[in-house]
Structure 1
Amino acid sequence: MLQNQKQLVHTPVMAQDLRMGRQYGEYLVFADVAGQGRRQDASSGGSLAVLYPDMGEPYRSIFAKIIEGIESKSRLPVISIPIGQKLEAGELNTQLKRSGVKVVIALGRQGVKLANNLDREIAVVVGGVLNIPESESRSMTGVSLMPDPVLLFSRLKSLLPNVKRVIVVYDPKNNESLIKLARDAAKQHGLELLAYEARDLASAAHQYEAAFTSADKRDALWLPQDSTTVEEGSILPLVLRESWSRGIPFFSSSFLHAKKGALFALYPNNLELGHSLAMAAQSALSGDGRKSGVSLLREVLVAVNLRTASHIGLNIDYQSQRSFDSIFPEP
């Protein structure tokens, strides 16, 4: 899911970024942003609303950084709306129309669920989610939190050019479409993708054990974001143990896995993600690329674990280390 990013600790979040919209009881009240020079008359093109879950840290800072990116690239004035349990689609529709909102960027599962019930005349762009169930897809476009396998495999080959095969255990219910794309991405990088299906925790554990038993120095393991096959309580400890003892590296789509022992991980660059969502909103508003579909994440940062690298005989010199955004163990 959304990853806690080390760099956010060093990025102050202004409180007003999160208070442009606030909910009282069952009514949504938009803050007056005219004094900030941000509001424009709806006749000049309307405005853009960002729906985001009203959550505590670290998610609050993450959403704030995405919104900062949206605001910096949007051609429309931006209204940020924290959503709580009592906010209903009917009341939201009324307030959005009153404020001249033409397009909505919905962040997180709560935002997508609420946006799915908005009037069809309001364009919707989604972000901050891995995928969208068909029942909630309407005519949405946007950017997933799932890193593009092309980027993952490119980074893998740059670090370990002798790797020939990538092992992945996945639940087809969650990631069937991702694995199809990953097969093509693997071919682009001269890799063979060994994909094993697992529909529950027990079968996932069995697949990992079998994969490690047959793996050799040509192999690397990929942990995608998958709630069935990348379970933190039992699967991750199994992967950490077997990877370390057998010298088979694994890489991940989760920032925290790099801290725990993955060779590297790709995770969202939230500011750049906000830029992409703002541009997608502009396209949706103008009617360009209005087809349904959520693209994979390409706005990424890279974390590396130097202890793991050293353990498998990979020396990453100081100059090369500067190309990574997060390094573990922390200097």
Structure 2
Amino acid sequence: MRKEIYKLLKTSIIFFSCSTFAKDPQVAIIYSTEALGNPAYAQVIAGIEQINSHVQRIESTGDSNNLISILEGAHADRVIALGKGIVDAIYKTQYRERTLAGLMYFNPTEFSGVGLALDNRVLVEHLARLLPSVKRIFVVQQSHFQTIDYVPSNLKPSATMEVREGVDSLDTIRVLGRLLDEVTASDAIFIPANLPKNILYEVAKAAWDKKVILLSTNLSHLENGALIAAYPDDFALGEQLGRLVNRPNPVYENIKVIKFALNRRVAQHLAIEFDPIVLDSFALKIK
């Protein structure tokens, strides 16, 4: 009996020692010097630092040879690269396997990390609360510029979501034009995030006349006819990236936390009234 107690105590001491002295990964956050003026970067970095205790910020011009020298000097176990230029440069080096990408659109076959594309399942769940009268949600986007990822779900949503994609910008505009002829006031359309301004004006005018709800993943569209804009919570995006650092294998995730903004003038035109609690849930409201 005494031997069994001794073995148990010995095992406990070893486990406690390993847990106590386990080394947190050294994390290097790499971003371009040009990105410093973008407030999204500061929020994402703050979110990463909220989760990870050993973080080093590194500004870079994006030159691959310079990056290798910097990363070797940083002795980083994991790298979080922010922005397309920096991610592309690092993925040409031997550090690609330990690098997580952020603040850019990409798919699971390209990079590991958190892509900016929003998850359709999360969107439908939120929109069921914000716009319960909507029965169909259409997503119009360019096949090589997808701001919403469509993932099939077994759950029966309150509104159906259908994705319609164009092969290029012009084809996507044609897809949107045909859809505007089909939809009714009980439908909502996510318009392409990269829609040209002159086309956006025509689309907003047609939707206004038909009283069709326009949604967007581009916050600037809120001032040009969209009722609601959905966009990432940058601080939460940083926290999400920070948690992935401890995952043993490369992984891709969509944005988990989404903010919503509202155009009150468009809501008034569409005769949509929000419950005060729902209205308070919008991170931004413009008149």
- Asked if 1:48 is matched to 2:27, the reply is yes
- Asked if 1:220 is matched to 2:178, the reply is no
CA distance in 1, matches of 2:185, 2:25: 57
Report Cα offsets for 1:170-224 as digits up to 9, x if no partner. Answer: 3333439924x2xx35963143334333223333333222211121122111125
In structure 1, runs of 5+ residues without a counterpart are 1-42
**Letter of the structure 2 residue corresponding to residue 268 of structure 1:** P
Give the counterpart of 1:104 among 73, 79, 84: 79
Q: Per-residue deviation at 1:49? A: 0.6
Conserved? CA contact 1:150–1:186, under 8 Å: no
CA distance in 1, matches of 2:197, 2:276: 34
Partner of 1:6: none
Give the counterpart of 1:154 among 105, 121, 125: 125
Q: Per-residue deviation at 1:149? A: 1.4
Please give the root-mean-square deviation of Cα atoms over the aligned residues, in Å. 2.6
- What's the TM-score once normalised by structure 2's chain length? 0.82
Moved over 6 A (4+): none
Give the counterpart of 1:247 among 185, 203, 211: 211
Partner of 2:138: 167
Instruction: Determine helix, strand or coil for the equivalent of 1:304.
Output: strand
Instruction: Determine helix, strand or coil for the equivalent of 2:134.
Output: coil
- Asked if 1:74 is matched to 2:52, the reply is yes
Instruction: Determine helix, strand or coil for the equivalent of 2:100.
Output: strand
Partner of 2:286: 328
Partner of 2:258: 300
Question: How many percent identity over aligned positions?
Answer: 23
Give the counterpart of 1:280 among 244, 255, 262: 244
When Rg is computed on C-alpha atoms for both structures, the one with the higher figure is 2
Judging changes above 3 Å, is the alpha-carbon distance between structure 1 residues 269 and 100 closer, same or farther for their aligned structure 2 residues? same
CA distance in 1, matches of 2:165, 2:24: 48
Q: Per-residue deviation at 1:129? A: 0.6
Paired residue total: 266
Judging changes above 3 Å, is the alpha-carbon distance between structure 1 residues 152 and 122 closer, same or farther for their aligned structure 2 residues? closer
In structure 2, runs of 5+ residues without a counterpart are 1-21
Conserved? CA contact 2:32–2:60, under 8 Å: yes
